[in-house]
Amino acid sequence: MTRLTRNVRALFIALCTTALLAACSSGPTVRTDTDPDANFGQYKTWGFYSPLSMEKSGYSTWVSERIKTNIRREMTARGYAYSEKPDLWVNFRERRDVRTAVYPMTQTDVRYFYNPRARAYIAVPVYYDDYAVHQYVEGTLSVDIVDSKANRMVWTADAVGRSMQKLPAKRAPEIDTALTAIFMHYPYTAGNAQPVVPAK
């Protein structure tokens, strides 16, 4: 493989990485599901489910505490009052999986063949199929809203996105973005049976 070919390959991989970062920065994909029989007009208070899915080990983490802070803000903004005996339980969990992406690419190289007539070597371009492999972390943050009396989930959302960050200081904005995206899809306010905005 010539130096030019190696440079082209390195450039292609760099472009793929840049594209992945751009995809991550565009925000997570959110999927939601709502119980069609739920009457959201009867819900005015909320609290955290116990034990939370992220704290089944018996202790909290900086991630779970940050998620709690975000959820408190979002529920309060919608008029729900916090209560130890609420109408709604809110539960959440996070999962991080390592994924592998494979990108097909065409490589070029130069082969030299001896030409007896010309008494010299002739450069001939050669093309062949190759691929670039990139590993990334896919994060999933899920929020469940549960009718406390019926012990039945009435709304759920998953925010799925690519994460390139490992340090807490850099992961924190990703968590905030995911929670904001999730609650942008929650269309209800306290005591109102009809959605304020259509569910996305």
Q: Tell me: the pLDDT tens digits for 32-59?
A: 999 999 999 999 999 999 999 998 888 8
Give the pLDDT of residue 197.
Answer: 67
Give the pLDDT of residue 11.
Answer: 40
Asked whether the beta carbons of 91 and 46 are under 8 A apart, the reply is no
Q: Find the mean pLDDT for residues 180-191.
A: 96
R_g of the chain, CA atoms, integer Å: 26
Give the pLDDT of residue 152.
Answer: 97
DSSP 93-123: EEEEEEEEEEEEEEEEEEEEEEETTTTEEEE
* Confidence category of residue 26, pLDDT binned at 50, 70, 90: low
* C-alpha torsion angle, residues 192, 194, 197, 200 (rounded to 10): 120
Domains of the chain, with CATH numbers?
3-184 (3.30.160.670)
Q: Whole-number mean pLDDT of the chain? A: 84
Please name which of 102, 103, 127, 124 lies closest in space to residue 113, comparing C-alpha atoms.
124
Of 134 and 116, the one with more pLDDT = 116
pTM score over 0.85: no
What are the structure tokens assigned to 9, written together? 């390959």
| Edge-to-edge order in the sheet of strand 45-48 | 29-34, 152-163, 120-147, 88-115, 45-48, 81-82
Judged by DSSP in three states, 54 sits in helix
Q: State the first-to-last Cα distance of the chain, in angstroms, to the nearest integer.
A: 50
Within 10 Å of residue 89's Cβ, how many Cβ atoms? 19
Q: Find the mean pLDDT for residues 159-185.
A: 86
Q: For the segment 55-113, what is each residue's pLDDT rounded down to a tens digit? A: 888 889 999 999 999 999 999 999 999 999 999 999 999 988 888 878 787 878 888 88
Contacts of 160 (CB under 8 A, 6+ apart): 28, 29, 30, 31, 138, 139, 140
Give the pLDDT of residue 109.
Answer: 81
